[in-house]
């Protein structure tokens, strides 16, 4: 018989075997759990893929209507043509960024945004360039408010805008930045004149002559030439007004053919032949 008060000795090897058995069972459970999660994830991904393929090849999401907003000069058909959209294409397959890039390559489109409206509509929002002037450089080009000459005039286009001249076709390639800067200064000058305050206004100017080296000159509808140069244009306009008032009082304004204001503190006036002979 065993003495119930005698201590029981447990073999260390047997204890190690029990621990390994427990750890093995835990590891197996973890592996099975991982396999189950992987299967569930794979099933979910497969289900989503099947749903996507179902939508992708379903005619329900085919492009049925294109809505265009913001177009003033361009027609809806011209905007759609610029987008290069294919009839009946599935909306899910469209690359909106690519469509936007294609639209912005059109010379009249300054800003473009494209949106999907499910199930079958595409929204195109554009902002067109607004012609601010015309540039004559071998051909006639529209100029926007950022001094960009962006497209050629076509027959029937409006020509009732300020005219910049003096630029050769090759100047657009060799002196493009200088030409643009002179146009920008000319547009700023026109804005100053539009605000009023002087009797020199945009309506009285027949054309603005550009010289990338010498600056701007104004050919007036009266036949007078006003040389302004490159800098301090607003000050020179006010000097022109004072000079005109002075010469009117002397009865000599009508004989002034060339008024050169491209000096810091003075002006040079050249008279017509009749004045010189008189």
Taken in order of first residue, the domains within the chain and their CATH numbers are 59-128 (3.10.20.310), 133-277 (3.40.50.11690)
Q: How far apart are CA 179 and CA 189, in angstroms?
A: 15
Q: What pLDDT sits at residue 253?
A: 92
Tokens of 120: 């079958």
Strands 149-152 and 139-143: antiparallel
The answer to whether the beta carbons of residues 153 and 159 sit under 8 Å apart is yes
Q: Read off the pLDDT of each residue in 151-180 and give the average, rounded to a whole number.
A: 94
Looking at residue 15, its pLDDT comes to 57
Residue 183 confidence (pLDDT)? 96
Q: What angle do CA 153, 158, 164 make, to 5 degrees?
A: 65
Put the strands of the sheet holding 65-69 in their side by side order.
65-69, 121-128, 109-117
Q: Which of 174-178, 225-229, 274-278 has the lowest mean pLDDT?
A: 274-278
Q: Evaluate if residue 265 carries a pLDDT over 70.
A: yes
pTM value?
Answer: 0.75
What is the pLDDT averaged over residues 62-67? 94
Q: Which range among 18-22, 156-160, 183-187, 211-215 shows the weakest confidence by mean pLDDT?
A: 18-22
CA-wise closest residue to 212 among 259, 173, 269, 258: 173
Instruction: Give the residue ranges of DSSP H helices in 113-232.
Output: 171-174, 176-194
Lowest mean pLDDT among 3-7, 66-70, 103-107: 3-7
- Would you say residue 276 has pLDDT above 50? no
Among 59-63, 66-70, 206-210, the minimum mean pLDDT is found in: 59-63
The strand ranges marked E within the chain are 65-69, 109-117, 121-128, 133-137, 139-143, 149-152, 163-165, 205-211, 215-220, 225-229, 256-260, 268-271
Q: What is the pLDDT of residue 57?
A: 61
Residue 59's pLDDT is: 76
Whether the per-residue pLDDT at 157 is higher than 90: the answer is yes
Helix axes 176-194, 233-249, angle to 10 degrees: 50
Q: Which of 5-19, 30-44, 138-152, 255-269 has the lowest mean pLDDT?
A: 5-19
For all residues of the chain together, what is the average pLDDT?
85
- State the Cα–Cα distance between residues 144 and 189, nearest whole angstrom: 15
Q: Is the pLDDT of residue 9 over 80?
A: no
Strand 205-211 and strand 139-143: the pairing is: unpaired
- Whole-angstrom CA distances from 72 to 76, 110, 128, 214, 268 are 9, 13, 7, 37, 46
Compute the distance between CA of residue 259 and CA of residue 236 in angstroms, rounded to an integer: 11
pLDDT value of residue 1? 47
Listed residue (95, 98, 124) closest to 112, CA to CA? 124
For the chain, report the end-to-end CA distance as a whole number of angstroms: 157
The β-bridge partners of 209 are: 165, 217
More confident residue, 264 or 9: 264
Whether the predicted pLDDT of 48 surpasses 70 = no
Closest CA to 202 of 254, 163, 145: 163
Mean pLDDT, range 171-175, rounded to an integer = 91
Lowest mean pLDDT among 24-33, 88-97, 188-197: 24-33
Contact of 109 with 82, CB cutoff 8 Å: yes
- 104-108 average pLDDT score: 97
Cβ contact 255:272 at 8 Å: yes
Q: How far apart are CA 218 and CA 198, in angstroms?
A: 15
Question: Mean of the pLDDT values across residues 204-221?
Answer: 93
Tens digits of residue pLDDT in 26-42? 776 776 677 767 766 66
pLDDT at 214 over 50: yes
């Amino acid at each position: 018989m065993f003495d119930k008060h005698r201590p029981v000795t447990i073999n260390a090897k047997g204890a190690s075997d029990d621990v390994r058995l427990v750890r093995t069972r835990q590891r197996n459970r973890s592996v099975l759990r991982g396999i189950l999660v992987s299967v569930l994830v794979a099933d979910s991904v497969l289900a989503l893929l099947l749903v996507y393929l179902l939508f992708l090849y379903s005619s329900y999401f085919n492009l049925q209507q294109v809505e265009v907003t913001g177009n003033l000069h361009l027609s809806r058909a011209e905007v759609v043509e610029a987008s290069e959209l294919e009839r009946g294409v599935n909306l899910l397959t469209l690359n909106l960024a690519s469509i936007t890039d294609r639209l912005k390559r059109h010379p009249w489109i300054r800003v473009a945004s494209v949106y999907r409206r499910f199930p079958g509509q595409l929204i195109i929002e554009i902002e067109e360039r607004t012609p601010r002037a015309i540039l004559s450089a071998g051909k006639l080009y529209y100029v926007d408010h950022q001094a960009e000459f962006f497209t050629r005039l076509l027959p029937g286009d409006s020509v009732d805008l300020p005219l910049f001249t003096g630029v050769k076709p090759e100047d657009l390639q060799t002196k493009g930045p200088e030409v643009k800067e002179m146009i920008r200064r000319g547009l700023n000058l026109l804005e100053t004149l539009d605000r009023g305050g002087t009797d020199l206004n945009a309506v009285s100017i027949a054309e603005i002559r550009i010289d990338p080296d010498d600056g701007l000159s104004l050919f007036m509808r009266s036949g007078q030439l006003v040389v302004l140069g490159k800098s301090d244009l607003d000050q020179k306009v006010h000097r022109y007004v004072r000079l005109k008032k002075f010469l009117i009082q002397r009865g000599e304004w009508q004989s002034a053919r060339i008024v050169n204001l491209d000096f810091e503190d003075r002006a040079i006036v050249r008279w017509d032949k009749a004045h010189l002979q008189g």
